[in-house]
Every structure is written in C-alpha cells, then in structure tokens.
Amino acid sequence: MSAGQAQPALVCRSLTKRFGDTVAVDDLSFDVRAGTVTAFVGANGAGKTTTMRMLVGLVAPTSGHASVLGRPYRALARPRDIVGAMLEGPGAHPAHRARTHLTITATAAGIPTARVAEVLELVGLADHAHRRVGTFSTGMRQRLALAAALLGDPAVLILDEPSNGLDPPGIAWMRNLLRSLAGEGRAVLVSSHLLPELAEVADRVVIMDRGRLVADAPLDELLAGRSRVAELRCADPAAVVEAISHTGLAAAQLEGDLVVIEGLSAQEAGELVSSVGAGPVHHLVERRGTFEDIYFDLAATGGGGA
Ligand SMILES: Nc1ncnc2c1ncn2[C@@H]1O[C@H](COP(=O)(O)OP(=O)(O)OP(=O)(O)O)[C@@H](O)[C@H]1O
Ligand SMILES: [Mg+2]
C-alpha cells in the first residue's frame, strides 16, 4: 500500500450528475487526503451515494471529473489494490458461504486467496466464514461488504454508510477500524447521515445538501467558535426571554416552556432565572454547539462553509 502525500488520494472537481430533471450532484469539488478520515455527510438524497459511485466509475458524471491517486478510477490497472469500495447495492449471492464469496471476489481481482482469512478476521467474521450469506444479519452483511473492500489492502477506502445496521458495539468497532485504517496512512471517505457517529472519528467533514457542497473543513474548525448554549425549563419562560432581550444575547422559547439561551453557562442561566423571579427551574443543562447544530445551520442557510 502506498498513498502519495503530495497529491490528494481522492479528488472531485466540479462533479455534476443529472438524472433527467434531478440534479443529484451539483458542481461538487473536494479532496480526500491520505491518512485521514473524511466524513461525507448529508440528508437522504443529498447526493452522497451518487458521488461515491462516480468516484469508482459506476456512474458517469454529466460534467466534471473524479480521480483516485491522480487517475480516473477506470484508468487504474488493478483498481481493487488501490480502492476498496463499499457501496449500496446487491451484495453477495445468498447461497454462497462468506468465505466462498470473498474467495471468488479475490480471484476475480487477482488477489491471493490467503488474504480472505485475514479480512474475515479483520471484520470479526472469522467464526461465521462457513455460513451462507443468506442467513446473515444486516450487520454481518455490512461486515462482509467491508471485508470485500479490504481484500486488496487498498490505499483508499470509499465506504457508503458502513455503520448501517450495526448495533452500538458494532458502531464503536467500526469507528475504531476507520481510525486505524487512516492511521495506517489510508485515505478514508465515509458517508453517513448519523452525524454524531462520525464526529468522533472524522478529521475533516464534507457536508452536502441537495447536491451541493455546503461545508468542507477540518472538524475542529467547524466546531470552533460554536458558543455554549444553556437550555432550561422554568415557571415563567417568557420572563427569561424578555430579560435576555435586553442583554444582546439570543434566546428562544421552543416547545412548551423550553428556553434556549446562546452564550450563557448553566450557572449564569440559573442566576438569571432567580434574578428575574422566573423560578423555580425544572431543568437546566449547558451544551456546546454540536456537530448536529452545525449541520442543520449549514443546511438551513444552504451554504457558508468551505
Ligand atoms: N439512478 C438514478 N436515477 C434517477 N435518480 C437517481 C438515481 N440515483 C440517484 N438518484 C437521485 O439523485 C439524488 C441523490 O441520491 P443519492 O442516492 O446520491 O443520495 P444520498 O445522499 O446517497 O442519500 P441517502 O442518504 O438516502 O443514501 C436523489 O434525488 C435520488 O433520487
Ligand atoms: Mg446513499
């Protein structure tokens, strides 16, 4: 495995894909570098799968181009040795045993079949290698698809919602695996609409909304400058909002008596409630602006990132 440090491992330049009247991907440009996990985030229909399919030559762009280690995927001599992809779509034949499926896949790609046992071990399926794929749970199928992606020991991984169907320990396992794959110098592009799931592993975040890029930045940068938010319920929420309106801070009364105040700690918010006699307080928490807030803000404004 080797991944050039100088050039990005994956490059999308002005990628556009139209399906009839639908613009699935609209002038999208971003890079994925070796040794990093790039989270590829967006709501259902944002264009993530279509982009990934263009990256591996399964869908032809309407315009723009994509390249892997400097070349279009289709120009790679032994693509499976360079790119491991896990995409939506038909998986293994249900009557095949897991080991057989991987052996056939390896043989077709010219990969030594000794690698099959290694990848089964890597994805935690060694004990199920003899089972027919048709009897697998969703999570086991995901692991098998990941095993197939890892067969060629590729420098680049393109994983479309790999945590779908995994249970909480499976999701934690996936996170660790993504980290260690990037730690070995691989470029990992991983999509999800479950944002907190990727927030813990992502070095960089690319956010799409309705085909367009809305953010492309290191996670730290997206999270930096997010102010803290105090959230409370009390006897007289309107009095709290009124008091805040004179301070230059932003506050809003949400469903029922829930009040959200930007820029105050829990303690400060508690003190404010007592000072205006709006108590008692039933609920009081402080949180930082989260990955999820960023996503919704960006999606709502249709941009602002990059
Ligand atoms: N083969 C196709 N023919 C027509 N329209 C398509 C096709 N593939 C995707 N689309 C449309 O392109 C848009 C983007 O779809 P895509 O599957 O790329 O989104 P996604 O971000 O992967 O969504 P999800 O989170 O649901 O997987 C959607 O409007 C979808 O209906
Ligand atoms: Mg998708």
- Tens digit of each residue's pLDDT (9 = 90 or more) over 130-162: 999 999 988 899 999 999 999 999 999 999 999
**Pairing label, strands 83-86, 212-218:** unpaired
- Ligand 2 centroid from CA 50, angstroms: 7
DSSP string, 166-219: --HHHHHHHHHHHHHHHHTT-EEEEEES-HHHHHTT-SEEEEEETTEEEEEEEH
Ligand 1 pocket check for 192: Cβ under 6 Å: no
**Atom nearest to 51 CA in ligand 1:** 18
Q: What confidence score (pLDDT) does residue 195 get?
A: 63
Q: What confidence score (pLDDT) does residue 292 get?
A: 62
Measuring CA to CA, which residue among 300, 258, 303, 288 is closest to residue 196?
288
- Ligand 2 centroid from CA 30, angstroms: 18
Is 248 in contact with 261 (CB distance < 8 Å)?
Answer: no
Give SS3 for 237. helix
Per the listing, tokens 């095949």 go with 96
Ligand 1 pocket check for 226: Cβ under 6 Å: no
**Segment 112-124, tens digit of pLDDT:** 999 999 999 999 9
d(CA 17, CA 50): 8
Q: Which of 17, 18, 21, 22 to mutate to test the pocket of ligand 1 (most atoms within 8 A of CB)?
A: 22
Q: What confidence score (pLDDT) does residue 88 get?
A: 75
Q: What confidence score (pLDDT) does residue 196 get?
A: 64
Axis-axis angle for helices 98-109, 138-150 (nearest 10): 30
276: Cβ–Cβ under 8 A, 6 or more apart, which residues?
236, 239, 240, 242, 243
Q: Give nearest CA residue, ligand 1 atom 3.
A: 19
Mark the residues whose beta carbon lies below 5 A from ion ligand 2.
48-49
Is 111 in contact with 120 (CB distance < 8 Å)?
Answer: no
Domains and CATH numbers, the chain: 10-223 (3.40.50.300), 228-288 (3.30.70.100)
**Segment 206-239, tens digit of pLDDT:** 989 889 998 898 887 777 656 678 889 999 999 9
Q: Residues of the chain whose pLDDT is less than 70?
A: 1-6, 89-90, 194-196, 224-227, 288-306
How many CB atoms lie under 10 A from the CB of residue 280? 10
CA atoms within 13 A on the CB side of 19: 8
**Rounded alpha-carbon distances, angstroms, from residue 159 to 11, 38, 178, 270:** 16, 10, 10, 45
